[in-house]
Amino acid sequence: MNFAHTLMETLGMKTLEMNRKRVVLKMPVDSRTHQPMGFLHGGASVALAESAASIGAYLNVDPETYQVFGIEINANHIKSKRSGYVKGIAVPLHIGHRTMVWEVKIVDEQDELISISRCTIGVVEKK
């Protein structure tokens, strides 16, 4: 997968682990991901969560035949953060033929929960 010239690159996301059962991405908490008051932006957390879930879904399909798209995501932001980095840890809750559901926990350097998301991914046959 090529992440150059994508939102992932813009927000400084890096892959730490990528397989069919677990995806871990790291993202800095800095000016790229802050909201105006200097805290981690909830939208940046959601972007991290959907990126991790989408990568995991992609790894569970034949990319020659199928494409995956996020169709729903929710997030509960538990704790704020001003600096350092966060990790998005995505694991599948359901791997189906047409949809997948992934849970993504976002944690800080001390593994404290910052945000938790559930992302539904649509699996679409390429035409």
Question: Any idea which residues carry the catalytic annotation?
Answer: 50
Q: Can you list the alpha helix ranges (DSSP code H) found in 1-127?
A: 7-10, 42-59
User: Which stretches of the chain are assigned E, i.e. beta strand?
Assistant: 14-19, 22-28, 66-77, 85-95, 99-107, 113-125
